[in-house]
Homo-oligomer: A and B are copies of this chain.
Amino acid sequence: MKMVKKAVCLISGGMDSFVSAAIAKHKGYKIYALTVNYGQKNKKEISSAVKIAEFLKVERHLITKAALSWTKSALTDAKIKIPREIRKGEIPLTYVPARNTIFISIALALAETVDAGAIFIGVNAVDFSGYPDCRPEYIRRFQRLINSATKKTCGGGSIRLQAPLLRMSKEEIVKKGLSLGLDFSITWSCYKSGKKPCGQCPSCIIRAKGFSAAQTPDLIN
Contacts and interface: CB of A to CB of B under 8 A. Distances in A.
Interface of A: 62, 64-68, 70-72, 91, 95-102, 104-106, 108-110, 112-113, 132-133, 135, 137-138, 141-142, 144-145, 147-151, 153-155
The 10 closest A-B pairs by CB, nearest first: A98-B109, A97-B112, A98-B108, A66-B66, A132-B154, A97-B109, A102-B105, A101-B105, A141-B145, A105-B105
Nearest to A142: B145
B98 A150 contact: yes
Contacts of A68: 109
Contact of A109 (B71, B104, B135, B137): B71
Nearest to A155: B91
Nearest to A77: B113
A97 B102 contact: no
